[in-house]
Amino acid sequence: MKENPLRSATGIPVLLGLLAAEAFCAWLLFHGVTTGQPLFVVASIVLGVVAAFCLLGLYMVEPNQAAVVSLFGKYIGTVKENGLRWNNPFYAKKKVSQRVRNFESGKLKVNELDGSPIEIAAVIVWQVVDSAEAVYNVDDYEGFVHIQSESALRAMATSYPYDQHEDGQIALRSHPAEISQHLKDQLDERLADAGVTVIDARISHLAYAPEIAQAMLQRQQANAVVAARTRIVFGAVSMVEMALEQLKEKGVVELDEERRAAMVSNLLVVLCSDRPTQPIVNTGSLY
């Protein structure tokens, strides 16, 4: 079912013409009654009923709105011209808003790729682009959008981990642009049959479930400590290596393997310690 444009008459001239016809019928009825001519009375009543029936063909279309027209259950076309319009009075008209709309899904509790329970919600911006599909392909297109959006959000959340564990891995927390595009693509695919397009889809809430939030916080803190220690050790080893090379090049002191090991140990303790070190002066010999 695809949208078929339908032409309609401008409603203002039709309305004025029908009002003039009703006025003429009233005059004709009055003339027939006063002159005692039943033919005028019958004609005025018939014409008045026809003109009143034709008034049923008037309807109004607002900006960014479409009127889906059908005749005895058969789809005829869609009228998008704004203002007061007129079509066959037997046509049934169903108005569909084509304005941009948005909603925020409820907080969903799902398991991410690694199996950890998380809470997630999203803001979906959508618009009807094919009124015929929206009316005839689904029973309630607004409810259809809401349900399919939650379904797509659940499917997307289970496809990615909460945090990035490997280089190049896409995660919910660290790659919002990629996640939003994936969610939008999923929604476009699900809502295409309903004549709806998704303009934007973004995560509005993302957090671990309350029962594991504290454990996940400790895990994140541990990962941060390990990363910081790794960087400190790397820098300390580089500084020790540079110090030994400088001592060797300038010939400040000749160190055997045992003294080199002691010096390396002392420098690493000083550079890697998380608190100030206390120097100890050695007045004797290592031997």
Which domains occur in the chain, in start order? 9-95 (no CATH), 101-208 (3.30.479.30), 215-272 (no CATH)
Task: Give CA–CA dist 194/144, Å, rounded.
Answer: 8
Q: Is the pLDDT of residue 230 over 90?
A: no
Helix (H, G, I), strand (E, B) or coil at 43: helix
**What pLDDT, on a 0 to 100 scale, did the predictor assign at position 130?**
92
pLDDT tens-digit profile of 28-54?
Answer: 887 777 777 788 778 888 888 888 899
User: Angle 11-35/38-54 helices, nearest 10 degrees?
Assistant: 160
pLDDT cut 90: percent of the chain above it:
35
Task: Give CA–CA dist 162/142, Å, rounded.
Answer: 30
The 8-class DSSP code of residue 118 comes to E
**What pLDDT, on a 0 to 100 scale, did the predictor assign at position 285?**
57
Please check whether residue 128 is in contact with residue 141, taking contact to mean a CB–CB distance below 8 angstroms: yes
Task: Give CA–CA dist 63/124, Å, rounded.
Answer: 22
Helix (H) or strand (E) holding 83: strand 83-86
The one-letter code for the residue type at 17 is: G
User: Angle 141-157/176-191 helices, nearest 10 degrees?
Assistant: 140
Task: Give CA–CA dist 79/93, Å, rounded.
Answer: 9
pTM greater than 0.75 (yes/no): no
pLDDT tens-digit profile of 113-160?
Answer: 888 888 899 999 999 999 999 999 998 999 999 999 999 999 998 888
List strands edge to edge, sheet with 92-97.
Answer: 74-79, 65-71, 92-97
Please check whether residue 186 is in contact with residue 152, taking contact to mean a CB–CB distance below 8 angstroms: yes
pLDDT cut 70: percent of the chain above it:
86
